Amino acid sequence: MPWVFVLIWSTGFIVARFGMPHSPPFKFLTIRYALSVLCFGAWVALARVAWPRDRSQWMHLAVAGVLMHAGYLGGVWAAVKAGIGAGTVALLVGLQPVLTAIWLTTTSRDSKHHAVTPVQWIGLLLGFGGLVLVVWRKLGAGEITPLNLGLALLALLSITTGTLYQKRHVAPCDVRAASTVQLAAALVVSLPLALLEQEAIDWHPAFIGAMAWSVFALTLGGSSLLYLLIQRGAATQVTSLLYLVPPCTAVMAWAIFGESLSGLMMLGMALTAIGVALVVRDPGG
């Protein structure tokens, strides 16, 4: 399941490259969330899935949904629309495992369950070093502005906070019902922002294809897998998988768009894989 998640999640930047020229970010995301809610809602109804009974769980799911969907995706897509490169966004969001580890270390010193071991710290640093090597050539001079940098950092803080919040506050429940609540909350937040965007949607085939993949593969597939991984694994181990996303994205961009794939980038991918392996290994093994 982790490897399937990485492959699906890595297509996010590829989809953005197809869809962003034909739509402003929040209009795209609002349609994506609305279609996803309809799909999940129908699935829940047909399967007669039980909704969370505790009212507080509805609130916790909504908060996590706003952070992990509206905040993270909104920040990434708006940053790309504002001119920052996909490689730069990948590098900034790739700081998430380090932020997660720092937070858990400083707030859970007495909890062996959440403690980050020295070996895992080495893995985190190796993974980040490999990530830098992968995206280094994609860092374009002059592409960063206060606006797009702020949006990218908003995405980073949103996905980090959302992951930690969900792991701590959201009780295990059916992923279909949980995803419906989370996406509905993201829709409520994103819709007003979409109405403020002046740019119209161009219903180009690339836009339609990007929307279909975003709904069925990224949201119904990728987000559901992320929810399950967070529920079943330690936060540091789960977020370390995101180190593998930029390398996988680089390979996909090379295969689809003919982007360069140098020896330095392949070395970075190897270091990233080793780092993730160190983080997700059984600390007692």
Q: What is the DSSP string of 121-168?
A: HHHHHHHHHHHHHHHGGG--TT---HHHHHHHHHHHHHHHHHHHHHHH
User: Tell me, what's the pLDDT at 207?
Assistant: 94
- Whose tokens are 């119904």? That residue is 220
Report the distance separating Cα 168 and Cα 163, nearest Å: 9
Answer yes or no: are the C-beta atoms of 222 and 8 closer than 8 Å.
yes
Measuring CA to CA, which residue among 185, 170, 187, 138 is closest to residue 235? 170
Confidence of residue 11 (pLDDT cuts 50, 70, 90): confident
pLDDT tens by residue, 40-75: 999 999 989 899 888 999 999 999 999 999 999 999
Tell me the range of 155-159, 183-187, 221-225 where mean pLDDT is highest. 183-187
pLDDT (average), residues 101-129: 70
pLDDT (average), residues 207-233: 84
Report the distance separating Cα 103 and Cα 5, nearest Å: 24
Confidence of residue 1 (pLDDT cuts 50, 70, 90): low
Measuring CA to CA, which residue among 174, 163, 152 is closest to residue 57? 174
Tell me the range of 194-198, 240-244, 277-281 where mean pLDDT is highest. 194-198
Measuring CA to CA, which residue among 62, 73, 244, 66 is closest to residue 155? 73
Which one is predicted more confidently, 105 or 245? Answer: 245
pLDDT (average), residues 93-110: 69
pLDDT score of 284 more than 50: no
Report the distance separating Cα 167 and Cα 147, nearest Å: 30
Answer yes or no: are the C-beta atoms of 71 and 26 closer than 8 Å.
no
Which one is predicted more confidently, 193 or 246? Answer: 193
pLDDT score of 173 more than 80: yes
